[in-house]
Amino acid sequence: MLIPSESAERGATLDPDFMRHLEAEISRFKRSRTATFDDALERHYERETHEARTRDLNITMMLGGICFLLTALTDIAFVPDIGFDGVLIRVGALPLFLVVIVFGPQMEPMHREMLMVVAGTVLVLLLAYIPLLSSAPQAALSFMCAIFAIAFGNTTVVPRFRHACIFTALSCIGVGALSIYQGPYGWAITIELLLVGLFTLFANYRIERGARLEYLLGEHEKQRAAGLSAEREKLKILSETDALTGVANRAAFNNYWAALYADPAYAGRSAALLLLDVDHFKAYNDHYGHIAGDDCLRAVASKISSTLRNEGDLVARYGGEEFVVCVLDVSPAQARIMAKRLCGGIRALQIPHDGREDGIGYLTVSIGIATGEIAVHGSIRELIAAADEALYIAKNNGRNRVEVALPDAA
């Protein structure tokens, strides 16, 4: 079973192995009463929930510290004869809360949970020790503070269920023993203690299991959404890709320029449009056949794509044997150099073309160039018209050449 790496952003890409694992775990959770994952998924779960777990732990420990101190108010009614001893015991225990808050988030999950068990058990036993200091007849009622602390730990701090079981068992044994030692009501207090422990453990289990099932369903939904997004992206690519040559199609070309004109960040930037036409392509098709013609167009498209300067440039099949190249941030001189490189590169392919009448025995192209600046809310039509005019001139001047037209703006 493969689990995504720590650096992977969940939901960004579809992971089929992880998806299948999630589906298996969801099925297992719904069939059984489990509240645990296998080791690999457990590590991923801890990693994904660490930030939220740390935030919740800090909040609940601060709240717990306040409530821990406020239980001193019950000393007035239950153990009035011990004076401020109960307050001093509680204040002296406050560093335990700080230890969990400061060191807990930095520890491995297992160590963090054990730290919570140890700190929680010590705090419960300290509260259970206070009634032993009093000789008041109602002192046994002070054990309610310890019972409250167990309930708070299981249902508000919410340690992992297996650790909640350890915390509850240790606390019940300790508090039960102290209550029996304290006086004749110990057996009744122990019964209440056990009932509270069982009920709060059940609540902890339901909280933990619910959180884990919610995580599974959430991750599954992320994966499903990622799958849909990937499918949409594939369809988008297919809809904007020329099926024959593999380069962008005319729709993609139109969308490309529409995006440039719609974005103010591109306003004023120079742009060049190279309109390329395969010379005597009809004669090539007639002489070699349409299959060879398709191969020819693929070779031309591949050569154009390999000549582009960077990923931001666009090559598209404009229609038939015409291609268009879009380049940003170039001067007319740079655009002309690129066009000549394209023209020479396609000649260098030495694709035979015996069907042409001008005596040149290999495939060539003619290129018309138009350059200008992108204007917000402008139109590509002027640039296309200028490039088309330059291409017309190149054809009339004998083909296998480059011509440049300079419009006022793109």
> Facing residues of 176 across strands?
none
- Asked if 342 and 276 count as a contact pair (C-beta separation under 8 A), the reply is yes
Q: Catalytic residue at 321? A: yes
What is the strand order of the sheet 365-373 is part of?
Answer: 314-319, 322-328, 270-278, 365-373, 402-405
> Facing residues of 367 across strands?
276, 402
Pairing of strands 270-278, 314-319: unpaired
**Structure tokens given for 252:** 């993609």
Helices (H), 12-74: 16-31, 39-70
Q: Tokens 């192995």 map to which residue?
A: 17
Secondary structure class of 281 (helix, strand, coil):
helix
Q: Which of 23, 321, 357, 382 is the catalytic position?
A: 321
- Asked if 304 and 276 count as a contact pair (C-beta separation under 8 A), the reply is yes
What is the biggest distance separating any 2 CA atoms in the chain, rounded to whole angstroms?
121
The residues, any chain, with a CB within 8 Å of residue 359's CB and separated by 6 or more, are none
Q: Cα separation of 369 and 274, whole Å?
A: 5
DSSP state of 399: S
The residues, any chain, with a CB within 8 Å of residue 227's CB and separated by 6 or more, are 14, 19
Residue type, 128: A
Burial-class residue 371 by CB neighbours within 10 Å (0-12, 13-18, 19+): buried
* Residues involved in catalysis: 321
